[in-house]
Homo-oligomer: A and B are copies of this chain.
Amino acid sequence: MPEMPSADLSALIGLLDLVGIAVFALTGALLAAQLRQTFVTMAFFALVTGVGGGSVRDLLIGAPVFWVRDPWVAPVCLAVALVSWFTPRRWWDKPVLEWADAAGLGAYAVLGTAKALAFGVPPVPAVLMGVITGCVGGIIRDVLAGRPSILMRPELYVTAAALSSVLCAGGAVLGLDKGLVWPVAAVAGFGLRGAAIWWRLGLPVYSAEREG
C-alpha cells in the first residue's frame, strides 16, 4: 500500500484538485459577498475555502502542502475572487452553486482518500482524510464568518463526503481498478448530496428519548 503515486495518478490528482479548489473558492468568495465584505476579505475567504481542507490533509499525512510550491493554485483562488467581485451575484444563484459544490465535494473526498492511501495511510484514517479534504475548508470558512458550520446542520453534507471516501478506500482494500472505483465513488457522494439538496434530506438527530 505505501506505493508512491505514479505520474499519471499525480496528474489526475492535480486535475481533480483544481476542480474542487475553484468551486470551493467560489463558495467562500460568495459568502464574503453576501456578508458585504471587502475584496481583500473575499480573496482570503476564497483561498481558505479552496485550499483549507487539502492543507489540513497534507499537514496530517506529512505531505508537502499542495498549493504552497505550486505557482498556479493560489492565483486561481485570487482569480475566482476577482470574478466574484466584478460579476453580479445573480450569476451565481444558490442552486447552481449548491450543485457545483456537491460535485466538488464528491471529487475532493475521493482525491483526499486516494492521496492518503498513496502516502501509506491505513484505510480508516484515509477515509477521514477524504472527509477532511471535502469539508474542512467550508468549516474554517464558516467559523471565520461566525456562523454555524456545515458540521452542525443535519443536512447530508459530511455524510456525502464520507460515502465517497468509504467507497474509494473500500475499492482500494479490495484491489479494484482505480479507473472504475474513483468515478463511482465521486458520483455516489455527488448523488447523495444531490438527493439531500433535492428532497431536503437530513440525518436523524440524537433523540431526547435516549436521555431518559
User: Is A78 touching B210 in the complex (CB atoms < 8 A)?
Assistant: no
Contacts of A67 in B (CB 8 A): 125
The main secondary structure of chain A at its interface with chain B is: helix
Least CB separation from A38: chain B residue: B203
Query: Which of B125, B151, B204, B206 contacts A33, CB < 8 Å?
Result: B206
The distance from the CB of A5 to the nearest CB of chain B, in whole angstroms, is 17
The distance from the CB of A131 to the nearest CB of chain B, in whole angstroms, is 8
Task: Pick the most buried of A38, A116, A145, A205: most chain B CB atoms within 10 A of its CB.
Answer: A38
Least CB separation from A85: chain B residue: B206
User: Is B212 touching A32 in the complex (CB atoms < 8 A)?
Assistant: no
Pull 13 A–B residue pairs with CB atoms less than 8 Å apart, ordered by A: A33-B206, A35-B152, A36-B208, A38-B205, A41-B151, A60-B65, A61-B65, A68-B116, A68-B125, A74-B125, A85-B206, A88-B211, A144-B149
